[in-house]
Amino acid sequence: MEKVVHGLGLLCVEFQMLETLIKAAISEFAASDDRVLASLITAELSFNVSVELLYALFEYQWEGPSRPKELKAILGRSALKASAIN
């Protein structure tokens, strides 16, 4: 039982980190120079809506074959920001 509880705890922590990373990426797209505005945009978004918004922002800002490279760079910067927050 203890292993199950520990595993569930780890799952929750990892999911929260993923959600934080997605919201940091949204912030990078939408308001990279204004932390308050970025927080307001993502504050009450559910996980599903956050993923959809991230995709929509990405589609809006980048076209062409460089898209995967650009998204990787943005997610990398967002991961650094998210780790600094936590």
**Amino acid, res. 51:** V
Instruction: Give the closest residue to 25 by CA, choosing from 2, 58, 3.
Output: 58
pLDDT tens-digit readout, 37-56:
888 888 899 888 898 898 88
Query: Is pLDDT above 60 for 27?
Result: yes
Q: Once rounded to an integer, what is the mean pLDDT over residues 53-74? A: 75
Continuous H helices in 1-86: 2-31, 35-42, 47-61, 67-85
